[in-house]
Amino acid sequence: MHKILEARFLAENIKLFRIEAPRIARKRKAGQFVIVRLDEHGERIPLTIADSDTGAGTITIIVQGVGKTTKALNMKERGDSIMDVVGPLGMPSHIDKFGNVVCIGGGVGTAIALPTATALKKAENYVITINGARSKNLVILENEMKAVSDESYVTTDDGSYGFHGFVTQKLQQLIDNGKKIDFVLAIGPIPMMKAVADVTRAYKIKTVVSLNPIMVDGTGMCGGCRVIVDGVSKFACVDGPEFDAHVVDFKNLADRNKMYTKNERVSLKHFEHNCRLDKKINEIKTMND
């Protein structure tokens, strides 16, 4: 059992948790993730380690509620526990002194990009961050990103805050303005990562993306997380999750991630039904009290 020491929403539907996991806290490096299982009936899902505190023995995860497990997790509060947390998994980000780097986070991808951006800053790169969201109320970690950046931008699809447009438009603008860019890290929805790869490919800018295939064990045993990189199958949980964006087969990843769409809808409905039942039972209980 891993106790939750802190839980707070960063934006609508996106919640930060600080949880007890001393062994993982000591070991983790930027770019690595954990697999969590909430309870006995739970699924195993991967979540990036956004931060850690070796002294306190805690790790931080930032979770966007998209389906059953993430929504159930986001209902947890300080003092609650998570049954299983295993990690740190995956290869750490490749950190080097590249020169000028651009770290792009889209949506909850910003939380995944933050630790690597921090490490890149520490390695004495000139760090530019582009923090993209659909709309102002969904922007997360603005100050945290700014703190590790030499230049930072927020973009919103609807123009409600910061730069009006997609992260790729901001990136293109930087390139057009003659900024020399040596390395790009892009983490977010698959179409965003693909779009970034398409932009940088033309300029031969080394670009890395963090892939999010469906995982089970996270140790290389099941092969479910395989992605096609440069025509070869790779296991994202042990060989990745970061890969060279210019040779990733994004279509295959997107298609494979839709594998359980039907089941996921059933699961969510089942969950919401049970939540409503719980609420009803509680209401009846309070009425009787």
Partner 1 sequence: MAKLTAKERMQISRHPMVEQDPVERSHNFKEVNLGYTAEMAIEEAQRCIQCPKPTCTMGCPVSINIKGFINLVAEGDFSGAVKIIKIDNALPAICGRVCPQEEQCEQSCVLTTKYKPVAIGYLERFVADYERENGQVAIPETKASTGKRIAIVGSGPAGLSCANDLIQWGHQVTVFEALHELGGVLVYGIPEFRLPKEIVRQEINNLKTMGVEFQTDIVIGRTITIDELLEEEGYDAVFVGVGAGLPWFMGIPGENLVGVYTANEFLTRVNLMKAYQFPDYDSPILDCRDKNVAVFGGGNTAMDAVRTSLRLGAKNAYIVYRRSEKEMPARVEEVKHAKEEGVQFKILTNPVEFIGDEDQWLKAMKCIKMELGEPDDSGRRRPVPIAGSEYITEIDIAIIAIGNGSNPLIKQTTPEIEIGKRGTIIVDPETMETSKKGVFAGGDIVTGGATVILAMGAGRTAAKAIHEYVMTKPS
Ligand X SMILES: Cc1cc2nc3c(=O)[nH]c(=O)nc-3n(C[C@H](O)[C@H](O)[C@H](O)COP(=O)(O)OP(=O)(O)OC[C@H]3O[C@@H](n4cnc5c(N)ncnc54)[C@H](O)[C@@H]3O)c2cc1C
The residue ranges that bind ligand X (CB under 6 A) are 33, 43-48, 62-64, 66-70, 108, 111-112, 212-215, 219, 241, 257, 261, 264, 268
Nearest distance in Å: CB 167, ligand FES: 28
Candidates 54, 137, 263, 282; binder of partner 1 (CB under 8 A) is 263
Within positions 179 to 218, which residues make up the interface with ligand FES, using CB under 6 A? 215-218
DSSP class of residue 91?
A: P
* Cα 24 from Cα 45, distance rounded (Å): 16
Residue 47 touches which of ligand FES, partner 1, ligand X, none (Cβ within 5-8 Å per kind): ligand X
* Cα 30 from Cα 34, distance rounded (Å): 12
Q: 22: cis peptide before it, omega within 30°?
A: no
The verdict on 146 binding partner 1 (CB under 8 A) reads no
Candidates 6, 223, 274, 277; binder of ligand FES (CB under 6 A) is 223
Q: Point out which span in 95-103, 110-118, 178-186, 222-230 binds ligand FES (CB under 6 A).
A: 222-230
The verdict on 87 binding ligand FES (CB under 6 A) reads no
Closest to ligand FES by CB, 88 or 105 = 88
Residue 123 touches which of ligand X, ligand FES, partner 1, none (Cβ within 5-8 Å per kind): none
Nearest distance in Å: CB 155, partner 1: 31
Candidates 133, 237, 248, 253; binder of ligand FES (CB under 6 A) is 237
Helices assigned H by DSSP within 50-108: 68-73
Within positions 34 to 73, which residues make up the interface with partner 1, using CB under 8 A? 37, 41-44, 68-69
The verdict on 11 binding partner 1 (CB under 8 A) reads no
Residue-wise DSSP of the chain = -EEEEEEEEEETTEEEEEEE-HHHHHH--TT-EEEEE-STTPPPEEEEEEEEETTTTEEEEEEE--SHHHHHHTT--TT-EESEEEEEESPPP-----SEEEEEEETTHHHHHHHHHHHHHHTT-EEEEEEEESSGGG---HHHHHHT-SEEEEEETTSSSSEES-HHHHHHHHHHTT----EEEEESSHHHHHHHHHHHHHTT-EEEEE-----SSSSSSS-TTEEEETTEEEEHHHH-SEEEGGGB-HHHHHHHHTTTHHHHHHHHHHHHHHHHHHHHHHHHHHHH-
Residue 179 touches which of partner 1, ligand X, ligand FES, none (Cβ within 5-8 Å per kind): none
Candidates 164, 220, 269, 274; binder of ligand FES (CB under 6 A) is 220
- How many residues are given for the chain? 289
- Total binding residues for partner 1 by CB under 8 A? 42
Binding site for ligand FES (CB under 6 A): 215-218, 220-225, 235, 237
Binding site for partner 1 (CB under 8 A): 23-24, 27, 37, 41-44, 68-69, 83-89, 216-217, 219-224, 226, 228, 233, 238, 251-252, 255-256, 258-260, 262-264, 266-267, 270
